[in-house]
Structure 1
């Protein structure tokens, strides 16, 4: 019973942590969609897409590696990984600041694809990346309560800034972006002071040398993923309009982003556990066989649970969101998007246990292959479907998600064949002549 209570607190803290950080991230899109004119909201969505692109590249190169690797170590080895990871995140943030300034200066400030608001993110890219890395440090160390603490600091600070902006009547895309960055700065500062970390004292070269077997493929996968996300924004804004992009992003924020946040929370809890199980599965004898069986059983049970949850979500959320959108004048035209986006969320849920197991088994190359397939089919479906308007584009994206799920399950089955203790080499046999 005591073990059950401890596990419940652990899972509860992890889920609550993700709810808090998801609220901080969703506030820009939700409040921006409600308070800003549609053209300004489209500009905010574009700037956020570019900001997330950079953040998620850093997460792949640093944060996801910490989740999959640092959970296997203790003591000085783990401490060295954290120091080097923070230094790498710091360098990523500085590099991103320079790139954003150059991009903002060089990009034409007119037309449907307008990056005017991107400049507001420049001062905050370092703390955004440090905070994300800090969360992964705590989750890899099985301390989700600490991650929850710094995320509450972020969300609380961001909320105060947004409230002040609204009360003074200064709502703007840049204001929402600045509030987001100020919140991240507060959270990262608390982490650095609490853990007595100095982000530039690590060694990014040592990080690359020790983690390249994971970080290289994780980063390549993230590049494909974020290019896909950016391409969706640019294709919708270019082929249709910024207003259509705003409609798509608003429905995705209301309906799909909560699912993606739940996925991220479960991944953060499952990947370290799957990583330890995969490492134990390589041990000889019964211990290795038991660990391999645990990994398989966990994946199978979670797949069944998430299939049920995804079905319930579609049945309940789809008509509810469709009704809410229909009754609001501002987003009534986006109501037909509710069904394909609900189905897309169900697909993402079903994929969770397979992705967590693959990351835990360190099958980074297979994950890259899966995402290339997913992104290729998604963008093709979007381009073809956009000829039928925004609803057709949404169904095209669902086609890509479904194809990605099928690919992930197939690759998981292949990866499982190499999990478990190595079979002992057969003893040499003597032929009849030698025996004679």
Structure 2
């Protein structure tokens, strides 16, 4: 009976976590999806560039605060975890204020060019504080193993954003600025609910204390996020600069329809698995059979998830690729982008297979290894993008990015295999035989 209740509880936990990611994904992807539908291709390209810069700032803040909450705060309970949450919110507040100032300067100083257009960035500037606070709030809930609460504030975001967009469409006033404003207003509503519910004020914490306590993780997570987001920005600017804004719009629209759901699933599973992996990794360091058993559990979890996601990725390529290709061919606006469906489907499958290894490495606090993997991925990916765009235009660029994703997966698997050899208590780490012996004791 207890086992059945545990399974039901785990199912509710996973279900709430997945629904939460669906909600936050709807809020984020709505910008690109609705922009592709409602705006001209030229204005849509400008929206994509502004979003690329906005996501750069948001994910950089997540590396400094959100990812650390998931990997570190999940190991603690009570006042220790609450203190980490308070200090994380204060750090996110400072990040938002700095980002707002930077966006205003960029908007004012960036030269006007036909292809690289950042005029829409000013619409994001007033909302970067609530966007970063909301992202930190949902990571706080996930680290505390309360995905239902995270789902609640994300539904507030989505609902508020939907109302603003509906008003804009009904009044025939669709614009890139309007879509960005709707996104920011939704984040403001969501984080307001969180702050009132938890009775917290963002300025009650200490950014200095946060950085002092988490520097062993936040430093490497931040460097990795900088590389990751520079990589994303470089893709957008390279496609827009070497090809055109229209090519960028085609590329991002297919990614939104086909790759964005996969990335959302990856984020959801990572957010759920990392706290669990972190606890197993912490227990694995304890001496005795319990530590060896925890290490074996983490290895087994990683292996089983990798097999499951490999099967899921193969099914996705076989099913989603022809469906998306067929749908694009029968649209007027994006018919020329149909050949992108196959390389982007393969890229999504690779991302799925990589999830368990990334989650295990985060749980083991192997931040340096994660940084090394992303450097390899970014270098190969951008090289493939540039060469592919030169030789084969937009379609060559897509296949070049796929090459980088494959290199990143191989590198991650090799780093995990190397790191997991030393997982477990000191007496159990030299050989796998000792781990097995301790487990069977």
User: What TM-score do the two structures reach when normalised by structure 2?
Assistant: 0.96
Superposed counterparts of 1:157-172, under 5 Å: 157-172=160-175
- From 92, 97, 100, give the equivalent of 1:94: 97
Matched, 1:404 2:408: yes
Aligned to 2:304: 301
Distance 1:322 1:47 in 2: 27
SS in 2 for 1:51: helix
Equivalent of residue 414 in structure 1, options 393, 418, 423: 418
Structure 2 counterparts to residues 9-48 of structure 1, below 5 A: 9-48=12-51
- Cα displacement string for residues 70-95 of structure 1 (whole angstroms, at most 9, x for unaligned residues): 00111111111111000000000000
Corresponding position of 1:378: 381
1:424 to partner: Cα distance: 8.0
How big is each residue's C-alpha offset from its partner over 1:300-344, in whole Å with a ceiling of 9 and x where there is no partner? 000000000000000000000000000001000000000000000
Counterpart for residue 204 of structure 1: 207
1:394 alignment partner in structure 2 = 398
Q: Which residue of 2 aligns with 1:433?
A: none
Distance (Å, rounded) in 2 between the aligned partners of 1:31 and 1:97: 24
Displacement of 1:389 after TM fit?
A: 0.7
Who is 2:350 aligned against? 347
Whole-angstrom CA distance in 2 between matches of 1:32 and 1:260: 19
Query: d(CA) in 2 for partners of 1:110 and 1:319?
Result: 37
Counterpart position of 1:103: 106
Question: Cα gap change, 1:157/1:132 in structure 2, threshold over 3 Å: closer, same or farther?
Answer: same
2:267 maps to which residue?
264
Shift of 1:110: 2.4
TM-superposed CA distance for 1:423, in Å, is: 1.1
Unaligned runs of 5+ in 1: 427-436
Task: Report how far residue 425 of structure 1 moved.
Answer: 12
Moved over 2 A (4+): none
- Classify 1:425/1:263 alpha carbon distance in 2 versus 1 (closer, same or farther; 3 Å): closer
Taking a change above 3 Å as real, the CA distance of residues 424 and 69 of structure 1, as seen in their structure-2 partners, is closer
Q: CA RMSD in A?
A: 1.0
Shift in Å, 1:355: 0.1
Mapped pair 1:323 → 2:326: yes
1:119 aligns with 2:108: no
2:316 corresponds to which of 313, 316, 323: 313
Aligned residues: 426
Identify the residue that residue 138 of structure 1 maps to in structure 2.
141
Local SS of the residue matching 1:197? coil
3-state SS of paired residue (1:357): helix
Which one has the largest radius of gyration?
Answer: 1
Give, in whole Å, the separation in 1 of the partners of 2:428 and 2:364: 22
Q: Is the 8 A contact 2:361 2:370 kept in 1?
A: yes
1:92 alignment partner, SS class? helix
Q: How far apart, in 2, do the equivalents of 1:78 and 1:212 lie? A: 16
* Larger deviation, residues 106-115 vs 92-101: 106-115
Q: Which residue of 2 aligns with 1:188?
A: 191
Q: Among 60, 83, 100, which residue is 2:63 paired with?
A: 60
- Structure 2 distance, partners of 1:224, 1:365, is 13
| Aligned-partner SS, 1:200 | helix
Structure 2 counterpart SS, 1:423 = helix
Instruction: Check the 8 A contact 2:422/2:429 in 1, yes or no.
Output: no
> 1:211-255, CA deviations, whole angstroms, 9 ceiling, x for partnerless residues?
000000000000000000000000000000000000000000000
